[in-house]
Structure 1
Amino acid sequence: MIKLKNDFLSVEIAAKGAELKSVMDINKPHEYMWQTAPGHWGRTAPVLFPIVGSLKEKTMYVDDVAYNIGQHGFARDMVFHIVEQEDERVLFEVTSDEETLRMYPYAFKLQIEYVLKDRVVAVSYRVFNMGDAKLYFSIGGHPGFNMNLQSGQCELCFEEEEVLNSELIDMQVGLIKREFKPLASGVDSIRISPSTFDEDALIFSHLKSSYVTLVDHKADRQVSMSLVGVPKLGVWSDKGDFVCIEPWWGIADYVDSNQQFVDKDMNNRLNPQEVFVCGYDVKFH
């Protein structure tokens, strides 16, 4: 486990998946990150690459060849190596290999960087096209935060007043419908509870706010995530005492997908030797 530390936070990151596993407050014994529990989600903050969500029939086609990738891709289960490390910063890297090429026919390099800045953890993703053809991919974060969700005293707060319409999910197949569920209009916050996730994740697009804050009124704690440059935001829980705030540069297949990976909604495209950079910051209050 890789450890970063400053005067405010102590952070632990696993080499497997370059996954953020722990964020502890130095001055009080509080763990901000979900630590898993029997019968509930078994991860903490996986990276989603080279897909976000699920493929239709778990299959995509590239040049008429079928490839199978499970939900959220395979990078979360790869062992990353450390490129650079300092007291408050670490840079991880993984590259395509024979195993990934059997699932995903593109040569890539993926870097994930974590930087501590006072009470903020800055997460950066860099995708390099290492091949001779155009690279198609999606990427996203899936950090889960400890919250007393079952208390009914949690709230999702936005910087600006928003029109909150959530894209609907076909729960039988795990794909996105081209339909929306209106949640609220002209509001800067919504209460969240286990029933919020009766129809799976909330999925928001085109938010005006530059950040969103998850508030646990019972525990008097909160975390804020930057939204600048984030095209899709997922909010999810399996109804355990945690909530995931998920910045996505991509989305699961829609129910009417033709399964051609080059046509996939919201896929990012990189020419040979180009680099795609994105990321988000989380402030732990």
Structure 2
Amino acid sequence: MITLQNPQLTIQINELGAQLHSIKRHDNQIEYLWQGDPASWKRQAPILFPFVGRLKNDQYRYGGKIYHQTQHGFARDRQFNVIEQTPTMVILEQHDDAKTLQVFPFSFKLQVKYELKEDKLVVDYRVTNPSADKTLLYAIGAHPGFNMPLTNTGTFNQTQLSVWPAEEYSRILLEGPYNDSEHPQLINMKEARMLNHDDFNHDAIIFKTAGGHFKVKLTDTVANHGVIVDTFATEYVGVWSQYPATAPFVCVEPWWGIADNVNGDGELLHKQGMHRLAPAESDNYNFSIKPF
């Protein structure tokens, strides 16, 4: 387990999946990050790569061949290697190998940087295409879960959701696990809203952010503590909690990609939300988490 620490925060990271394991402020010692529970959602903050969401029938076609891949890709279940570390920063990396090439026929290098900056954790994903002649197709996203409520005596229904800019957004609906972006609904976020488990009866609340600066705030209104997730240049941000089985957490998910469209044809080159990275090029994706 990797530990980062500064005067305000202590963060723990698991090298398996480069997944966040703990977020604590020194002034209150509250555990902000969901600790995982096999009875509900066993994960904590998986990294989604090279796909975000589910593929139709867990498969896709590329170059005339069918490849099988489970929801959210394989990065979350693979070991990362530490390539640089200081007391307040770590960079972890994984890359393609014979096993990944069986399910994803591309060379890649994925670096994840965690850095403490005062009372915030800044997260940066860097994707590199090491190929000399082949374009890399991929999506990437984050899936951190936060304890809601933040005390043992509270209830989920004391969770408040607010966003910035505070306005109306297109909400992308899911039909089963697949997106129906052709039929969005307006969601009014001009004012904060209290959450309950039934808000997730159609899976995640997916905000179409249109690539701007988008901020999500979760507040335990009784404890008066919570988290602010600041996203930059995302295409979508999902807010999710488990349903119909329920658990006391809410995920805030910056996505640069999305699940297969309900009308998708299974061809990777046609898949909605995929990024294209030219040979020898890199791209960065970042967000921050501020517990308060």
* 1:125-160 CA distance string (max 9 Å, x none): 001101220000000000000112844111111222
Question: Aligned Cα RMSD in Å?
Answer: 1.4
Q: Give 3-state SS (helix, strand or coil) of 2:113's partner.
A: strand
Of residues 218-227 and 62-71 in structure 1, the stretch that sits farther from structure 2 once superposed is 218-227
Q: 1:209 deviation in Å?
A: 5.4
Is 1:72 aligned to 2:72, yes or no? yes
Q: 1:38 deviation in Å?
A: 4.5
Q: Could you tell me the percent identity over the aligned residues?
A: 36
2:282 aligned residue: 275
Q: 1:182 deviation in Å?
A: 3.2
Moved over 6 A (4+): none
Q: 2:195 aligns with which of 192, 195, 199?
A: 192
Is 1:136 aligned to 2:134, yes or no? no
Equivalents in 2 of 1:169, 1:223: separation in Å? Answer: 26
Equivalents in 2 of 1:210, 1:204: separation in Å? Answer: 10
* 1:111-132 CA distance string (max 9 Å, x none): 0000001110000000110122
Q: 1:170 deviation in Å?
A: 1.4
Q: 1:163 deviation in Å?
A: 0.8
Equivalents in 2 of 1:38, 1:52: separation in Å? Answer: 22
Aligned residues: 282
1:183 aligned residue: 187
Residue 175 of structure 1 aligns with an amino acid whose one-letter code is Y
2:225 aligned residue: 221
Residue 237 of structure 1 aligns with an amino acid whose one-letter code is S
In the alignment, is the contact (CA less than 8 A) between 1:48 and 1:73 conserved in 2? yes
Residue 135 of structure 2 aligns with an amino acid whose one-letter code is K
Equivalents in 2 of 1:107, 1:78: separation in Å? Answer: 16
1:170 aligned residue: 175
Equivalents in 2 of 1:29, 1:282: separation in Å? Answer: 16
Q: 1:180 deviation in Å?
A: 2.1
Unpaired segments of 5 or more residues in structure 1? none
Equivalents in 1 of 2:179, 2:68: separation in Å? Answer: 19
Q: 1:232 aligns with which of 236, 250, 253?
A: 236
Cα 1:210–1:256 shift into 2, 3 Å: closer
Q: Give 3-state SS (helix, strand or coil) of 1:42's partner.
A: coil
Equivalents in 1 of 2:287, 2:29: separation in Å? Answer: 25
* 1:226-260 CA distance string (max 9 Å, x none): 12211100000113111000000000001110111
1:9 aligned residue: 9
Residue 170 of structure 1 aligns with an amino acid whose one-letter code is E
Q: 2:248 aligns with which of 234, 241, 249?
A: 241
* 1:255-283 CA distance string (max 9 Å, x none): 11011111111110001000011110111
Cα 1:73–1:66 shift into 2, 3 Å: same
Equivalents in 1 of 2:165, 2:11: separation in Å? Answer: 30
Unpaired segments of 5 or more residues in structure 2? none
2:48 aligned residue: 48
